[in-house]
Amino acid sequence: LFIHEEDHDTEIPSMPGCMRHSAESMMNEVGESLELGVRAFVLFPKVDDDLKTNLACEAYNPEGIVHRSIRMIKEKYPEAIVCTDVALDPYSDQGHDGVVENGVILNDVTVNQLCKQAVSQARAGADIVAPSDMQDGRVKAIRDALDSEGLTNVSILSYTAKYASAYYGPFRDALDSHPGFGDKKTYQQDPANGREALIEAALDAEEGADMLMVKPGMPYLDIIRRLKDASDLPIAAYHVSGEYSMLKAAVEKGWLDEKDVVLETLTCFKRAGADIILTYYAKQAAKWMKEDGLY
């Protein structure tokens, strides 16, 4: 769910069918999705520019948009599973996932900020925190920070194999979080390197991750399978914005049948080994499956 501070919804042109939701709209979306059997929700905020700084302190503001949204959802729908993105880029005036100094991402300073963010989100009621920043050592640091605050039941969904992909553009449009300079290749994985995912998976598992994410999804089905074969932890696949928008564009052109191609795509994730699928099609796919009597 993309959320913002406005009292109205805003369309995302590069992601047809997706909105930046107002608080009221977000709550309606959660309620309707729960009725269809979708129980888990990930919150992604569009943060006002005047709140963005290099240290991204707004990320752990207990009265920030994500924290207030968590509380609203859990108060009305306690059965909903709320997952939060742990990364600084929506809050950064640099547009990067970490604190920047002289054009370099400061790993340890960033991890310290991520720990504050994760703890504050968990205190607000998040069930799962999902570090997507790709900084070294952040899973252990976040696990230790959560445990030290008594938040031992909060799970960590680690973005274990997050590639420096060209498929993220529409998502960055949605959050207005394009990198202010350069790219993210110094901390996200090389799309040509499949073996690195196994190394990262072993490290994340050792550091205390509860689930491992592969991002993007469809172009990386081989990575999903590798991690499934190598790890006993649940494997998540992220059907990212670029994949979603390509399907939407082809459907709008009349080149593909939307229902058939979406359900086939989600089936492919399961076939490859994904236990969890994060997709912008979740609500619509659930509606189609319910209409077909599949659950």
Establish whether 184 is a catalytic residue: no
Establish whether 162 is a catalytic residue: yes
CB distance 2 to 63 below 8 Å: no
> Which residue is catalytic, options 46, 184, 215, 287?
215
> Which residue is catalytic, options 46, 52, 162, 283?
162
Cα–Cα distances (Å) from 127 to 153, 204, 281, in that order, read 8, 19, 22
In whole angstroms, what is the distance from residue 275 CA to residue 157 CA? 12
Instruction: Say if residue 227 is exposed, middle or buried (CB neighbours under 10 Å; 0-12, 13-18, 19+).
Output: buried
Instruction: Say if residue 7 is exposed, middle or buried (CB neighbours under 10 Å; 0-12, 13-18, 19+).
Output: exposed
CB distance 106 to 99 below 8 Å: yes
Cα dihedral sign, 268-245-135-137:
negative
Among residues 210, 192, 201, which one has the least CA distance to residue 228?
A: 201
Q: What are the catalytic residues?
A: 162, 215
